Amino acid sequence: MLSYWEKQSLLNYDTIVIGSGIVGLSTAVSLKEKLPHHRILVLERAALPTGASTKNAGFACIGSLTEILDDLHSMREEDVVALVELRLRGLKKLRERLGDKAIGYCENGSYELISGAEESCLDKLSSANKLLHSVLKGDAFTLHSEKIEQFGFSTTAVKHLVQNNFEGELHTGKMMRTLIDLALQKGIEIKTGCQVERVEEEPNTVKVIVKHTVLNEELIFAADKVVLCTNAFTKQLFPETDLCPGRGQVLITEPVANLPFKGIFHFDKGYYYFREIDGRVLFGGGRNKDFRGEESTAFEFNDAVRNDLLQKLKEIILPGKEFAVSDWWTGIMAFGDTKHPIVERKTPRIFMGVRMGGMGVAIGTEAGEKLALLVAEV
């Protein structure tokens, strides 16, 4: 029931990007900068980006000490350094592109809480600094355990505090709002409420099939090239993709009276993270409490993880303080056997930028730049 006019002028593009999160929009913007006359469409299945781009904690991070040391157990040293360099480069490009003020970027300090069971990691602090010095040009980590009491943390649970010297924070909502505005200013089309049913590659084009919910028929977009930036949801279109979803549970409190700390914080190899924002505590993570249960793309709550977060908030982060939870939400990330993302040409006309490993804020802009280069070269 589509009209002649719709078929003639509203369905054909040079490139279609599927997914309007950080990677999708960054890809579209980078491609438009390289090919200004390129007609680019971004398709989003929901009214808002639905994954982790608008649901993360707003950490501009490159990796905590225990996380880096844990990576070294399963990755070569050069691969760990390359990953840190990728995160650093991605954050630099994000800040240059959008501007610190527009995304609420600031550096109020970044710290990792070290438990008694983790004290041995401090013996490797100097070697970790040496390993990363070629990329950071300074010490990644310094010990500041004297701040534990100042920040009000449990001195029973927290034995040391390591400062991460190359990390900051931003406002996730402002970042995404600014990125959307930039894409629109550059003439990139964004269509929401477009659930992609399938992608069909032909010799001279790629068809992207979307269900038209009003007409109850298939809407077929066509493009010379298609880029998948669907992260954890990629297997719905390409089941063989090497990734596994990882759900993250997040809470934010009501304003806490006399909150004694600012900045961003990690503990337990980065599986837990919290920060101060607007006098509140935003706290998330804990999927390591139930890895199997959190390998899900369902936006649901895991009671075991939620209870764990509440307990740690009460006993470690805000001991002796009154607080009330204002909101809970979940975000869906994507992981694999390696922490390096998948950024590649999948077929002659289909490209893919997925598996951000929970580091989309840090690496999404750089992943988008690399995707744009791949597309522009073909």
Task: Confirm if 297 and 51 have CB atoms less than 8 A apart.
Answer: no
Task: Confirm if 276 and 299 have CB atoms less than 8 A apart.
Answer: no
Nearest to 15 by CA among 369, 343, 372: 372
Give the DSSP H/E element, type plus range, for residue 210: strand 205-212
pLDDT attached to residue 332: 97
pTM above 0.85, yes or no: yes
How long, in residues, is the chain? 378
How many CA atoms lie less than 13 Å away from 16 in the CB half-sphere?
27
Q: How does pLDDT run across 37-93, given as a tens digit for each residue? A: 999 999 999 998 888 999 999 999 999 999 999 999 999 999 999 999 999 999 999
> Residue holding tokens 């809470």?
251
- The three-class DSSP label of residue 59 is strand
pLDDT attached to residue 50: 85
β-pair type (244-253, 217-228): unpaired
Residue 315 CA to residue 277 CA, distance in Å, equals: 20
| Tens of pLDDT, residue by residue, the chain (378 residues) | 899 999 999 999 999 999 999 999 999 999 999 999 999 999 999 998 888 999 999 999 999 999 999 999 999 999 999 999 999 999 999 999 999 999 999 999 999 999 999 999 999 999 999 999 999 999 999 999 999 999 999 999 999 999 999 999 999 999 999 999 999 999 999 999 999 999 999 999 999 999 988 888 999 999 999 999 999 999 999 999 999 999 999 999 999 999 999 999 999 999 999 999 999 999 999 999 999 999 999 999 999 999 999 999 999 999 999 999 999 999 999 999 999 999 999 999 999 999 999 999 999 999 999 999 999 998
* Secondary structure tally for the chain: helices H, strands E: 10, 18
- The three-class DSSP label of residue 175 is helix
Residue 363 CA to residue 83 CA, distance in Å, equals: 9
Give 35's strand partners. none
Task: Confirm if 17 and 44 have CB atoms less than 8 A apart.
Answer: no
For residue 194, what are the CA distances in angstroms to 92, 185, 287, 299, 351?
32, 21, 30, 19, 19
Residue 359 CA to residue 248 CA, distance in Å, equals: 13
Task: Confirm if 333 and 231 have CB atoms less than 8 A apart.
Answer: yes
For residue 69, what are the CA distances in angstroms to 83, 119, 124, 125, 142?
13, 13, 8, 9, 15
Read off the tokens for 358: 């929970």
DSSP code string of 98-162: H-HHHHT-B-S-EEEEE-GGGGGGGGGHHHHHHHHHHHHSS-SEEE-TTHHHHHT--TTT--EEE
Phi-psi region of 132 (alpha: psi -120 to 50; beta: other; left: phi over 0): alpha
Give the DSSP H/E element, type plus range, for residue 367: helix 360-377
Dihedral (CA of 180, 186, 189, 195) sign: negative
Residue 88 CA to residue 172 CA, distance in Å, equals: 18
pLDDT attached to residue 378: 86
Euclidean distance between the first and the last CA atom of the chain, given in angstroms as a whole number? 35
Read off the tokens for 268: 């337990």
Question: Which domains occur in the chain, in start order?
Answer: 4-54+174-241+340-377 (3.50.50.60), 62-96+103-168 (no CATH), 244-335 (3.30.9.10)
For residue 341, what are the CA distances in angstroms to 297, 336, 358?
18, 8, 10
Residue 51 CA to residue 157 CA, distance in Å, equals: 33
258 backbone dihedrals φ, ψ, rounded to 5°: 55, 45
Residue 349 CA to residue 78 CA, distance in Å, equals: 32
Residue 266 CA to residue 283 CA, distance in Å, equals: 10
Task: Confirm if 174 and 102 have CB atoms less than 8 A apart.
Answer: yes
